[in-house]
Amino acid sequence: MQQQKLFREYQGLIVSAGILVVCVLGVLLGVVPLVRKTSDLNKENRSISAEVELLKNKVSVLESLDENAMRSDLLILLSAVPSDKSLSTLLDTLDGLTAKTGVSSGDFSLSKLGSLATESAQRLSADEKGVGSNILPFTINLTGRVDQLRGFLAASVSVRRLFRVRTFQVQFAKTATGSSDMVSVVVGMDAFYSPIPSAIGPVSQPLTPLTSADSDLIAKLEGMQLLVAPSSSLPPPSAGAEKTDPFSL
């Protein structure tokens, strides 16, 4: 009897407490996950909106470019720093230099161990990271008068296939009657190449048009003498499959 009396007295409180418990459970099981999901969607929406703006900027930059001009600029750059070792253009340029300056060429050798290995099997050295490209060192024996050799060294750093003179060893030739005006030189030089990247950067990476300094550099390279036949076709990317969507990841 006493329990029934207590139940009748606190019946309203018990019912209210039960409703409160059900509401709390409903909030915990339904509203809180919904709030978390809404917050995640909001963050993702902001991220996608930022990517869309970046893509719009990239599209705007691409639409402002002249495809034919960009193709011409790229061919000029590749004639100076090809996408592979391009030994044919290296040797043809050296032949052109010797013919232009009148020196005679002798032995030619690649100085770097594994110089004919594939690009993917090599890692950039500190020197290569410093210049921003791969380096192909070589040595060549030259014979000629001092003025001819001086002309070769001066011309070698002004042709469009870029070279760098590292070392040279001079030996004056002698004849039976005494000294001669002919000089033999072993020249250590570097050629440069830079594989065309096959991977497109992430969406977050900005795409900027060429600056005036870039255009001036291309114009300077175009003005340098080209001693090999110019190429009219672009090489393929160094690796990877071609992407139909340039912004796909």
pLDDT tens for each residue of 78-122: 999 998 888 999 999 999 999 999 999 999 998 765 545 554 445
- Cα distance between residue 187 and residue 164, in whole Å: 10
Could you tell me the pTM of the whole model?
Answer: 0.68
Reply yes or no on whether the pLDDT at 241 is more than 50: no
The yes/no answer on whether domain 67-195+211-223 falls in CATH 3.30.60.50 is no
Q: What is the mean pLDDT of residues 182-198?
A: 89
Question: Which pLDDT belongs to residue 7?
Answer: 54
Average confidence score pLDDT of the chain: 79
H or E segment to which residue 54 belongs: helix 32-63
Strand positions, DSSP E, 38-194: 104-110, 134-145, 163-175, 178-193
For 114, phi then psi, to 5°, come to 80, 30
d(CA 103, CA 108): 14
